[in-house]
Structure 1
Amino acid sequence: MSFSIIAIVLYGHEGQIRTLPFKKRGLNIVTGQSKTGKSAIIDIVDYCLGRGSYNVAEGEIRRKVSWFGLHLAKGDDEVFIARDNPGPGTGTGSKVYYQRGKIDSYPSLDEISKNTTEASLKTFTTQFAGIVENEFRPTSGTRPPLSANISHALLFCFQPQGMVASKDHLFHRTNDSWIAQALKDTLPYFLGAVDEEHFKHLAELDQLNAKLRILEAQESKRLQAIELSRNRIVRVVNEGKRLGLISQDYQAVDDSVFGYLANIASTPVDAPTVMQDFGETIQNLRAEQTTIQGRLTDLNQDLRAARTFLSVQTDFTREANEQSARLKSIGLYKTEAEERATCPICSSQLKTLTPSVEQITTSLQRVDNLLNSAHRESPHIQSHIAELSAQIERLSDQLKEVQRELARAISEDENARAAQNQLIARAKYVGKLTDFLETFQPDDDSEDAKDQIGELQKMIAAIRAKLNSEEMASRMDTFLNLIGQKMTAYSSGLDLEHSGSSLRLDVKKLTVVADTDDGPVPLNRMGSGENWVGYHVLAHLALHWWLRKRNRPVPSFLILDQPTQAYYPPDRIEGGLDQIEKDSDRLAVQALFELMHTACQEIDLPFQLIVLDHAHLRDEWFEDSIVEEWRGGVALVPSEWPNG
């Protein structure tokens, strides 16, 4: 069971209250002339039930009303919802008042205040409509899953003036492609092709799939680990061979390798021996080598200096002997020359005076002395050179011996370090091998995991069989066929094109189709507004017949705005049939309302058909169905209410 409308309540800015009551069951007619507020009723109801946008037309209603209220009932459960009028030129309000329980009287304007949010209002009304948790999951495309809510359910409940006569769109707001797709997605749920059991199975399927994904992920990791371990085993075995812990001819061919490696890991490794410290010996030898090399450098420098000195002395002696020989020629002259400015040989005049015999004799004596000194020093220098050469030879022999000892010490040190490093490497290898075996050794629980995966897959397959999309499609075809039969039956009372043909709902295109001898004819190829209105009315009546028959969670009301607009001239004030010129049009209007009256008696309760129209028929059943008549100054909003 879903809810119906008890009343629409309007609040003036000074606290005035205007109540528009409805009968909970059957036909409710609000008749009246144009511009009295009839068309605003759908927008008010939609707004109070959680619509995000506020679509009441600009004019008296926006200026004179401060709050809109809606009284709903579902059996003995009642709800009162009020939303603020945001005023002229605005798109939505921000205040929501929600009250649940027995509503004996409506709160005053002073008592109304915001006590919830727009999002919460949509949740409350969705639950009040009886819409349980549900989800549509597209099988193709990139659309996310969709849960049906009150906004989707209301698409079946409103036929505004511009929609009820549309040839292109059968449902409210489906000129928006997103909303049209949402209606297609949620239609199986609302018609009952998928029920609560379906969603329980979906929830169970989600849980099983979650468990399966975890187990499969664990199994995948295990298989990856096995594959990785095979590569690791090869590297581990090769490293063991390199360290001499594994025989060179060993080959890992099966799982027995883990036992073999376990034995290797348990083999004790000798502790690293304390390496003899050759560092000090090497350091001392290198210091001695450096000292000898430095001493050799100094001796070689001294030797080069001595040899250079000896060479220079030899050159000096040779030059001095030549000078002495020249000076000794002074003996050719016995006496001092009379004129030192005259050459004694050729008697020519000299610019520079010739040295005296005494001066020459003195110079010769000095040269002889130097030569004697040089001859005395020469043996000492040669002896010094010989001594330096001997020292250099001894030190060179010592250097060679030190270098041989140094090379031997370095070699022994390297061998000792290599042995110690190998012991350390073996110890590290055994540690890594132990860790490897703990990580990659096959787990005995792997078979249990495989069994669990197999069991879950069987359970998932069983649930998927219950969620068979073909079965759901078959149910949808059956339900749509029954709805089409009811549409066909309703059409027999109306004088429409293709009336009496087999009618059906095309859920892919969301339209009415008449199957004729010439082929299928969709609504947009049926001529004239009378046909479009007629097929809209009978299609929605047939839908609500099915929804109430199956007790589906769609609000149990249908509001039709101006279904006779195609027949009444726009300038007519009265709504009698005499205002219609053509007899055929009068008959069509009469037949249309009789269909509504008959359908309301036939559709399972609770069902509420609210018709907002210009017409006023004189039949007793029509008069009994009139809720209010707005003519002669009477309207939805009293004219005396002040503007806000």
Structure 2
Amino acid sequence: MSFSLKAIVLYSHIGRMRVLPFKDGLNIVTGKSKTGKSAIIDIVDYCLGRGTYNVAEGEIRRKVSWFGLHLSNRGDEVFIARDNPGPGTSTGSKVFFRRGTFANYPEIDEILKNTTENSLQQFTTQFAGISENQHRPESGTRLPLSASIKHALWLCFQPQGLVASKDQLFHRMNEPYLPQAFKDTLPYFLGAVEEEHFKYMSELDELTKRLRLLEAQAAKRIQVVELSRNRISRMVNEGKRLGFIPQEYQAIDDTVFNTLKQVSETSVDEPSLVQDFGKTIQNLRADQVSIQKRLGELNQDVVSARNFLSSQTDFSREVSESSARLKTIGFYKPEAEGSSTCPLCDSEVPAATPAIREIRESLERVDGMLSAVYRESPHIQAHIGELGMRISKLTQELKTVQRELVAAIAEDESARLAQNQLVARARYLGKLNDFLESSQPDKETDASNTEIKNLQQQISAVKAHLNSDETHSKMDTFLSLISQKMTEYSGQLNLEHSGSSLRLDTKKLTVVADTEDGPIPLNRMGSGENWVGYHVLAHLALHWWFRKRGRPVPAFLILDQPTQAYYPSDRTEGGLDQIEDDEDRQAVLALFKLMHQGCQEIEAPFQLIVLDHAHLADDWFEASIIEEWRGENALVPRDWPSA
């Protein structure tokens, strides 16, 4: 069951109030053009949570300060008011909400913003009886969609530009993305997808969530096992290399964990410490460097001594030659001493001949130096020999130090390898313990597998209740029943193809007449009379079904100017005498009779609100008129001041 309209309440800027009441059944607001009839749909839509404010520019925007709407749902009443944002604007920001019974409507000074637009939409959705629901596309990239009040209202409004349209059957279906949203939510509103379906969907979500978690855990365990197989192989090979595991051992089955567990309990011997920590090698290398340095110095001394001995030999040879020349003094003639005559051959020379005394003195000096050279030579030879012996001794010492150094290095390397081996074994045992803790078979695996199987069985059982084929089957059945009612209604109207079988095409969102010549959609049916007639009977049939099944679609249908195809545009009165053609007069009468009959057949509460300028003389029509706007009468009183 859903709500119906009790009244529309308008407030002027000075606090005056205008109430337009409604009742169950047929409600007719008749009157001439430009009296505000067409604004009623926009006002109701706006007060029920529409985000945009679409009232036409004019007196209503200038003279009204607040729009109010009184709703009723089986005795539960609500008053909603929204501010008029004024001329030139498309959104309002203030929402007033009050719940309870109303002897009198709130005065304007009581109306203050006390909720938000989003909260209003959520409330009107719940107040309409729309429960938690969700449409999930079977394929494609569309997101899940929940039906709300905005989707339900597409089934409640037939504005003037729509009611006589051949291309569009439902409200706002010319806007992007809305046709698909309408198709997605229509099964819920028709009842092909009931509330029980969404309980199963919620249960399925919970079961699926738990299953995914367990499957993820199982997949992780499988991944660990797969990784463990490679790690087991590496652990066994490393254990063989370090001497923990025999070389012939092969890991065949899960018993490898027992073997590795035994290995992990093996103790590691304490490492033997090297006492000098490499000091022996360091000292030997220092001795080697010292001996090599001393050998270098001795070799340099030998080279210097030999060079000195060589220099003495050259000097003695020169001195000996000088001595031999000076000894020729024995051939001098005394009388030649100091003259320019050669003392040997009596020939004339350029320089004077030195005195014999001087020559003898030179010879004595030369002989003295020669004697000194002869005395030093044996000492130098002895020094060179001594240096050679010292070099030989140091060379032997160097060889001894080098042998000891090689041996010390070998011993140090062996000790280091032994220590590294002990460290490697200890490190391996640590890794092995960590591996066994993370990789041993889990005792809870069997229990998890059992739970996964149980969840899969539960999910299959829930999915059986969510069989999409059953939903499609229900949709076909319900649409068939609605189509039968449409065909029944069409028999009361003199429409083209009215004798044919009619149906709703929910894929193209139109009416189709199945004839002997094939299916004929609404846009291929001629004349505005046909278009209006099929719009009216299709929506009456839908609301007949909604009320019959207690579906959460608001219990009203508003038709704006359904007789526009019959009345001349320049006529202000609504009598049938304003229509020249007798067939058109009969068509208008038949159309209103169908509306009247439909309201009697459709289970209460239901309201058919017709906004038109027609005024028929029949008693049932007169009884259905709630207001007539002619002369000074209109939706907004003429004497209301503008803002």
Q: Which moved more, 1:282-291 or 1:229-238?
A: 282-291
Q: Does structure 1 conserve the Cα–Cα contact (< 8 Å) formed by 2:500 and 2:514?
A: yes
How far has the Cα of 1:80 moved from its partner?
Answer: 0.6
How far has the Cα of 1:328 moved from its partner?
Answer: 4.0
Q: Which moved more, 1:304-313 or 1:108-117?
A: 304-313
Report the equivalent of 1:633: 632
Report the equivalent of 1:17: 17
How far has the Cα of 1:291 moved from its partner?
Answer: 1.7
Query: In the superposition, relative to structure 1, how do residues 596 and 312 fare at CA in structure 2: closer, same or farther (>3 Å)?
Result: same
- Give the partner amino acid of 2:7: A
How far has the Cα of 1:138 moved from its partner?
Answer: 0.5
Query: In the superposition, relative to structure 1, how do residues 377 and 490 fare at CA in structure 2: closer, same or farther (>3 Å)?
Result: same
- Give the partner amino acid of 1:385: I
- Give the partner amino acid of 1:119: N
After TM superposition, list the pairs within 5 Å mapping 1:4-153 onto structure 2. 4-23=4-23, 25-153=24-152
Q: Does structure 2 conserve the Cα–Cα contact (< 8 Å) formed by 1:512 and 1:523?
A: yes
After TM superposition, list the pairs within 5 Å mapping 1:153-232 onto structure 2. 153-232=152-231
Q: Which moved more, 1:548-557 or 1:495-504?
A: 495-504
Q: Does structure 2 conserve the Cα–Cα contact (< 8 Å) formed by 1:559 and 1:609?
A: yes
Query: In the superposition, relative to structure 1, how do residues 371 and 550 fare at CA in structure 2: closer, same or farther (>3 Å)?
Result: same
Report the equivalent of 1:480: 479
CA distance in 2, matches of 1:360, 1:515: 163
How far has the Cα of 1:318 moved from its partner?
Answer: 2.3
Unmatched 5+ residue regions in structure 2?
none
User: Secondary structure at 1:267's aligned position in 2?
Assistant: coil
- Give the partner amino acid of 1:536: H
How far has the Cα of 1:349 moved from its partner?
Answer: 7.4
CA distance in 2, matches of 1:532, 1:80: 36
CA distance in 2, matches of 1:87, 1:287: 104
- Give the partner amino acid of 2:116: T
User: Secondary structure at 1:500's aligned position in 2?
Assistant: coil
Q: Does structure 2 conserve the Cα–Cα contact (< 8 Å) formed by 1:156 and 1:540?
A: yes
Report the equivalent of 1:429: 428
How far has the Cα of 1:321 moved from its partner?
Answer: 2.7
Query: In the superposition, relative to structure 1, how do residues 388 and 567 fare at CA in structure 2: closer, same or farther (>3 Å)?
Result: same
CA distance in 2, matches of 1:75, 1:34: 35
Report the equivalent of 2:416: 417
TM-score norm. by structure 2 comes to: 0.97
CA distance in 2, matches of 1:65, 1:565: 28
- Give the partner amino acid of 2:22: F
Q: Does structure 2 conserve the Cα–Cα contact (< 8 Å) formed by 1:122 and 1:150?
A: yes
1:318 matched to 2:317: yes
CA distance in 2, matches of 1:345, 1:73: 172
User: Secondary structure at 1:177's aligned position in 2?
Assistant: coil
Report the equivalent of 1:467: 466
How far has the Cα of 1:164 moved from its partner?
Answer: 1.0
- Give the partner amino acid of 2:67: F
Q: Does structure 1 conserve the Cα–Cα contact (< 8 Å) formed by 2:64 and 2:84?
A: yes
Q: Does structure 2 conserve the Cα–Cα contact (< 8 Å) formed by 1:276 and 1:416?
A: no
CA distance in 2, matches of 1:261, 1:549: 75
How far has the Cα of 1:607 moved from its partner?
Answer: 0.4
User: Secondary structure at 1:316's aligned position in 2?
Assistant: helix
Q: Does structure 2 conserve the Cα–Cα contact (< 8 Å) formed by 1:275 and 1:420?
A: no
How far has the Cα of 1:104 moved from its partner?
Answer: 1.8
CA distance in 2, matches of 1:398, 1:601: 133
CA distance in 1, matches of 2:468, 2:325: 140
User: Secondary structure at 1:521's aligned position in 2?
Assistant: strand
Q: Does structure 2 conserve the Cα–Cα contact (< 8 Å) formed by 1:498 and 1:514?
A: yes
- Give the partner amino acid of 2:3: F
Report the equivalent of 1:616: 615
Q: Does structure 2 conserve the Cα–Cα contact (< 8 Å) formed by 1:11 and 1:66?
A: yes
CA distance in 2, matches of 1:94, 1:355: 144
Q: Does structure 2 conserve the Cα–Cα contact (< 8 Å) formed by 1:44 and 1:68?
A: yes
How many residues align? The count is 642
- Give the partner amino acid of 2:566: Y
How far has the Cα of 1:274 moved from its partner?
Answer: 3.0
* Residue deviations 1:505-547 (CA, integer Å, cap 9, x gap): 1111111111110111111111121111111111111000000
After TM superposition, list the pairs within 5 Å mapping 1:179-578 onto structure 2. 179-277=178-276, 279-329=278-328, 331-335=330-334, 336=336, 338=338, 350=350, 360-578=359-577
TM-score norm. by structure 1 comes to: 0.96
CA distance in 1, matches of 2:314, 2:219: 99
User: Secondary structure at 2:268's aligned position in 1?
Assistant: coil
* Residue deviations 1:386-438 (CA, integer Å, cap 9, x gap): 11111111111111111111111111121122112212211221221122111
User: Secondary structure at 2:177's aligned position in 1?
Assistant: helix
Query: In the superposition, relative to structure 1, how do residues 375 and 19 fare at CA in structure 2: closer, same or farther (>3 Å)?
Result: same
CA distance in 1, matches of 2:487, 2:45: 30
* Residue deviations 1:555-574 (CA, integer Å, cap 9, x gap): 00001111111111111111
CA distance in 1, matches of 2:236, 2:570: 101
- Give the partner amino acid of 1:156: L
Query: In the superposition, relative to structure 1, how do residues 359 and 479 fare at CA in structure 2: closer, same or farther (>3 Å)?
Result: farther
* Residue deviations 1:147-176 (CA, integer Å, cap 9, x gap): 111111111001111111111111101112
- Give the partner amino acid of 1:562: Q
Unmatched 5+ residue regions in structure 1?
none
CA distance in 1, matches of 2:43, 2:348: 154
How far has the Cα of 1:28 moved from its partner?
Answer: 0.6
Query: In the superposition, relative to structure 1, how do residues 415 and 338 fare at CA in structure 2: closer, same or farther (>3 Å)?
Result: closer
What is the RMSD of the two structures over their aligned residues, measured on CA atoms?
1.9
Query: In the superposition, relative to structure 1, how do residues 333 and 67 fare at CA in structure 2: closer, same or farther (>3 Å)?
Result: farther
How far has the Cα of 1:595 moved from its partner?
Answer: 0.6
* Residue deviations 1:215-248 (CA, integer Å, cap 9, x gap): 1011101111111111000000000011011111
CA distance in 1, matches of 2:558, 2:386: 135
Query: In the superposition, relative to structure 1, how do residues 573 and 306 fare at CA in structure 2: closer, same or farther (>3 Å)?
Result: same
Query: In the superposition, relative to structure 1, how do residues 366 and 621 fare at CA in structure 2: closer, same or farther (>3 Å)?
Result: farther
CA distance in 2, matches of 1:568, 1:512: 25
- Give the partner amino acid of 1:493: Q
Q: Does structure 1 conserve the Cα–Cα contact (< 8 Å) formed by 2:268 and 2:422?
A: yes
- Give the partner amino acid of 1:43: D
User: Secondary structure at 1:123's aligned position in 2?
Assistant: helix
CA distance in 1, matches of 2:500, 2:6: 38
